[in-house]
């Protein structure tokens, strides 16, 4: 079902970025990690494009693991799928006895399956329970956040994670409404947001609920705090010559990735040294000039690719012991 309509974002560019590391004669059986397995579209393409590669796929969503497991079954023991959040990558590799890997891919944000399965509550375009948990076996859902968080905390979340300028207005309406009846479904929240925004704010930037839904999703899943841990951990898991590609879908994610890559690619020597010792040399080489964007053709084929930003980097030096 979902697999037929699932189109992996910037697929060929991701394969091209990772190819030199996964075709390196020094690593005849390279290991590549898909940290955000989803429906397995990128993983399937990686296993097809690099026939000697072994894949490790992570996802916190058990339904995604089940569906991608069916899709990747034909590759047999070349793929190992693990129920884990992507900041757990070092633990997963240690458990599997894999010291370093040659390739890592992150496709951040919400998977197509989570958007398409109405009862998950990710999409503001259809009424559903306000859940938004990527792993439905743990944590609190979006309704509980809306119904129990203090007003000041809700304003902070909408501003920080949704970049919502009207956060105070929306939260005032939420607090007033939740006293009458707790929130449980997305349609009521969408209607409340529409009603509480000034006319000018409704005319720009698509659905006016988009930013609030993004903020709630990031809070419910701890996405940015997880990503802050995950990107440096992934860089540390790369062998020298290994490559990492990261697809982000909003400026908060992209900024985090950019900062980690830029820090890794920087010379950290104190100013004025005539010769820069090895320990101060960059660990990473940037493979993209800024963030690469999808082509117009790709956006026409897959509208979910529109906000994508792709950054790549290569590990060029080991950390000092």
Q: Does residue 122 surpass a pLDDT of 70?
A: no
Instruction: With cut-offs at 50, 70 and 90, classify the pLDDT of residue 118.
Output: low
Closest CA to 174 of 198, 205, 197: 197
The stretch 164-184 carries a mean pLDDT of 95
The stretch 250-266 carries a mean pLDDT of 94
Identify the architecture of domain 2-113+223-315 in CATH. Answer: 3-Layer(aba) Sandwich (3.40)
Measured between alpha carbons, how far is 300 from 302 in angstroms, rounded to an integer?
Answer: 6
Q: Does residue 242 surpass a pLDDT of 50?
A: yes
Query: Hey, how many other C-beta atoms are within 10 angstroms of the C-beta on 132?
Result: 27
Measured between alpha carbons, how far is 130 from 143 in angstroms, rounded to an integer?
Answer: 5
Pairing between β-strand 79-83 and β-strand 54-59 as defined by DSSP bridges: parallel
Check if the beta carbon of residue 21 is closer than 8 Å to that of residue 102.
Answer: yes
Check if the beta carbon of residue 230 is closer than 8 Å to that of residue 107.
Answer: no
Mean pLDDT, rounded, of the chain: 90
Judged on CB neighbours under 10 Å (0-12, 13-18, 19+), 40 is buried
- Which pLDDT score, from 0 to 100, does residue 321 have? 52
Binding residue ranges: 40-42, 59, 86, 107, 114
In this structure, the dihedral spanned by the alpha carbons of residues 206, 245, 112 and 300, taken in order and rounded to 10 degrees, is 60
Measured between alpha carbons, how far is 89 from 229 in angstroms, rounded to an integer?
Answer: 10
Closest CA to 137 of 57, 67, 60, 69: 60
Q: In what order do the strands lie in the sheet with 79-83?
A: 79-83, 54-59, 31-34, 101-107, 238-248, 309-315, 284-286
11-51 per-position pLDDT tens digit: 999 999 999 999 999 999 999 999 999 999 999 999 999 99
Q: Which of 1-15, 95-109, 233-247, 254-268 has the lowest mean pLDDT?
A: 1-15
Judged on CB neighbours under 10 Å (0-12, 13-18, 19+), 248 is buried
259-314 per-position pLDDT tens digit: 999 999 998 888 888 888 888 899 999 999 999 999 999 999 988 889 999 999 99
Domain boundaries, the chain: 2-113+223-315, 126-221
The stretch 184-196 carries a mean pLDDT of 92
Distances (CA, A) of 135 to 38, 170, 185: 12, 27, 19
Check if the beta carbon of residue 241 is closer than 8 Å to that of residue 24.
Answer: yes
Measured between alpha carbons, how far is 57 from 69 in angstroms, rounded to an integer?
Answer: 10
Binding residue ranges for S-adenosyl-L-methionine: 40-42, 59, 86, 107, 114
- Which pLDDT score, from 0 to 100, does residue 92 have? 98
Most confident of 105-114, 168-177, 190-199: 168-177
CATH label, 126-221, candidates 1.10.3720.10, 3.30.1300.10, 1.10.150.170, 3.40.1710.10: 1.10.150.170
Q: Does residue 99 surpass a pLDDT of 90?
A: yes
Check if the beta carbon of residue 103 is closer than 8 Å to that of residue 243.
Answer: yes
Q: Which of 27-31, 198-202, 234-238 has the lowest mean pLDDT?
A: 198-202
The stretch 227-250 carries a mean pLDDT of 96
- Which pLDDT score, from 0 to 100, does residue 271 have? 85
Q: What is the DSSP letter of 27?
A: -
Q: How far from chain centre, in Å, is Cα 182?
A: 30
- pTM for this entry: 0.86
């Amino acid at each position: 079902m979902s697999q037929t309509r699932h189109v992996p974002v910037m697929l060929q560019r991701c394969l091209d970025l990772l190819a030199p590391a996964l075709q390196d004669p020094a690593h005849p059986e390279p290991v590549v990690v898909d940290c955000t397995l989803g429906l397995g579209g990128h993983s399937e393409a990686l296993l097809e494009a690099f026939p000697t590669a072994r894949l490790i796929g992570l996802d916190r969503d058990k339904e995604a693991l089940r569906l991608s497991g069916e899709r990747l079954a034909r590759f047999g023991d070349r793929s190992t799928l693990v129920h884990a959040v992507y900041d757990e990558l070092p633990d997963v590799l240690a458990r599997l006895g894999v010291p370093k890997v040659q390739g890592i891919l992150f496709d951040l944000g919400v998977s197509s399956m989570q958007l398409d399965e109405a009862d998950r509550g990710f999409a503001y375009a259809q009424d559903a329970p306000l859940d938004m948990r990527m792993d439905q076996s743990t944590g609190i859902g979006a309704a509980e956040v809306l119904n129990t968080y203090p007003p000041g905390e809700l304003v902070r979340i909408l501003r920080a994670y949704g970049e919502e300028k009207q956060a105070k207005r929306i939260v005032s309406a939420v607090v007033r409404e939740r006293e009458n009846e707790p929130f449980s479904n997305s349609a009521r929240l969408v209607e409340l947001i529409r009603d509480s925004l000034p006319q000018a704010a409704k005319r720009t930037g698509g659905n006016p609920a988009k930013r609030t839904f993004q903020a709630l999703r990031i809070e419910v899943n701890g996405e940015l705090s997880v990503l802050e841990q995950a990107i440096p951990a992934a860089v540390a898991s790369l062998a020298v010559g290994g490559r990492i590609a990261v697809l982000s879908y909003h400026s908060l994610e992209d900024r985090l990735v950019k900062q980690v890559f830029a820090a890794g690619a920087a010379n950290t020597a104190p100013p004025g040294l005539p010769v820069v010792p090895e320990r101060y040399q960059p660990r990473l080489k940037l493979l993209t000039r800024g963030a690469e964007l999808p082509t117009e053709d790709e956006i026409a084929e897959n509208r979910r690719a529109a906000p994508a930003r792709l950054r790549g980097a290569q590990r060029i030096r080991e950390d000092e012991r």
